[in-house]
Amino acid sequence: MRKLLVVTAREYLERVRTRWFIIATVFGPIIIGLLLFVPPWLTSRNTASANLARIVILDATGTNLGNRIAAELNGGLGGDTSLTEVRAVPPARLAEAESLATRQTVAKSTRGYLVLDSNTIAGRSARYAGTNATSSADMDAISRVVRDEVVAMRLERAGLDPFQSAALANMHLDLDAERITDRGRGASARVSIFFAFGVAMLLYISLIMYGQAVLRGVIEEKQTRVAEVVVSSVSPIKLLGGKVLGVGAVGLTQMVIWIGVGFTLMKVRAQVLGHYGVRITPINIPDISIGAALLLLAFFVLGYTFYAALFAMVGATVSNEQDAQQAQMPVVMLLVVSVFALAPVLSAPESKLAYTMGWLPFSSPIIMPLRMSVVSLETFDIVIALVALACSCYIAVVLAARVYRTGLLMYGKRPALREVVRWMRRSH
């Protein structure tokens, strides 16, 4: 037991000390941070410019549409309309007025100009030209104002009083608000799918990453021949056990840091962005019960042990990294198959495929957490998956230990599969 701890401690400390670990552990949160903060910030940069109103309106409609739009652009009635210059232009002189406005825009005395004509009154089109014409947010804002005012004016013309028409014209604002709540609901479903997929991918990446770390550790010990000294002090089984535990502990450390930082960032996200004037819909992390979290942990630990044993087995049969690349393919394929099943399982979490992949030990560590996060599963379903995984885990560890014990001190040519099977059969 003491020796197992010594081996585990070495594996853990040496790995945590490496530059790779520090970089990965620091960069994980940085990437999470970038994902959480940069997109909303970029979007906010894209929202309508504050000085959207600093434009010229060429009103050739012969109505007060230009003035109404100017007022609306500056915060409605009572707004300061000094930024916006409305020029009433007879339709015949529109071209002349436009070229003047173009020169002013180029000279930067205005940001651009909005042309209103009979087409606008008819509800067909308005034109805008300006330095900010490529900003979709600005264009959206302007076109919304124009649309609102045209609708209101047409309603007034149809005989409704200005208040009624304003209420009707602005009705779609209410609709918009409703859509936001609607999207909010839709978003929560999407968040849970996003979350499920994220968990599954995180599991996949960590299984492969830490599994390969075990593989490389085994090869290093074989290649440097240090294995022989070490196994003269500690049994190969304990050496393997310590390695798997140590690397697993490194994995957990890293995940705890990542998940911890991720959750914290997610929580303070709205506040921090709000501080910079960016408003966002908060992401609601699906509530995870303690039981579900423990199940998740169980699947990770068992899955990791299962794959670490397989990777260690591969490591014990090869003598260098090149051979390892080839020899690990079957193990990696098992993981890749699970990832290919993600989308179909996600769209039908209670299909036959979902059950099968959920129970098979090589895919259950990835598929079960995915299914768990999107639907609530029956107890028998979870129990079957866990028991199957635990049993396979035990078998994998025993076989890996046998292969490891024999393979660890074999250098040179890669043994044939038949030979490896013989190693597995030897119980001592």
Partner 1 sequence: MPEPAVEIRNVVKRYDGHTAVRGLSLTVPKGAVYGILGPNGAGKTTTIRMVLDIIEPDEGTIDVLGMPNNAPGAIDRVGYLPEERGLYRRMQVRRVLRFLAELKGIGRREADRRIDGWLERLGLRTAERDWGNAKVDDLSRGMQQKIQFIGALLHDPELLILDEPFSGLDPINAQTLQDIVIELRRSGKTILFCTHMMGSAERLCDSVCIIARGEKLIDGPVAKVREEHGGRRVALELADGRVNGVAAVLADRTLVSKVDDANRIFDIELAPGADAQLLLRRLVESGANIARFEMAQASLHRIFVERVGAVSSAEEENINA
Taking CB under 8 A as the criterion, which residues in 193-222 touch partner 1?
220-221
Minimum CB distance to partner 1, residue 234 (Å) = 5
Q: What value, to the nearest 5°, has the Cα angle with vertex 286 and ends 277 and 195?
A: 85
Cβ proximity to partner 1, 227 vs 331, nearer residue: 227
- Whole-angstrom distance, CA of residue 95 vs CA of residue 129: 13
- Residue 59 is inside which H or E element, if any? strand 56-59
Q: Of residues 234-273, which lie at the interface with partner 1 (CB under 8 A)?
A: 234
Q: Is 3 in the site for partner 1 (CB under 8 A)?
A: yes
Does 2 engage in binding with partner 1 (CB under 8 A)? yes
Residues 6+ apart with CB under 8 A from 26: none
Size of the residue set binding partner 1 (CB under 8 A): 25
Answer yes or no whether residue 428 interacts with partner 1 by CB under 8 A: yes
Least separation in angstroms between residue 403's CB and partner 1 is 14
Q: Does position 230 bind partner 1 by CB under 8 A?
A: yes
Distance (Å, rounded) from C-alpha 139 to C-alpha 391? 62
Choose between 149 and 221: whose C-beta lies nearer to partner 1.
221
Least Å distance, CB 347 to partner 1, is: 46
Site for partner 1 contains 378 (CB under 8 A): no
Interacting residues with partner 1 between 385 and 414 (CB under 8 A): 409, 411
Scanning 42-50, 224-232, 355-363, 379-387 for contacts with partner 1 by CB under 8 A, the matching segment is: 224-232
Q: Are 421 and 399 in contact (CB under 8 A)?
A: no
Beta bridge partners, 129, equal 113
90 CB neighbour count, 10 Å cutoff: 10
Segments of 73-162 assigned E as strands: 85-88, 112-116, 127-130
User: Does 14 interact with partner 1 (rule: CB under 8 A)?
Assistant: yes
Q: Does 228 bind partner 1 (CB under 8 A)?
A: yes
Rounded (5°) CA angle 306-309-314 = 130
121-126 long-range contacts (CB < 8 A, ≥24 apart) are 121/61, 121/63, 121/65, 121/150, 121/153, 121/154, 123/150, 123/151, 123/154
CB closer to partner 1, 151 vs 324: 324
Is residue 383 part of the contact set for partner 1 (CB under 8 A)?
A: no
Q: Which is nearer to partner 1, 9 or 332 (CB)?
A: 9
d(CA 33, CA 261): 9
Q: Is 363 in contact with 356 (CB distance < 8 Å)? A: no
> Under the criterion CB under 8 A, does residue 99 sit at the interface with partner 1?
no
**Residue of 231, 324, 382, 386 interacting with partner 1 (CB under 8 A):** 231
Residues that bind partner 1 (CB under 8 A): 2-3, 6-7, 10, 14, 18, 220-221, 223-226, 228-234, 409, 411, 419, 422, 428
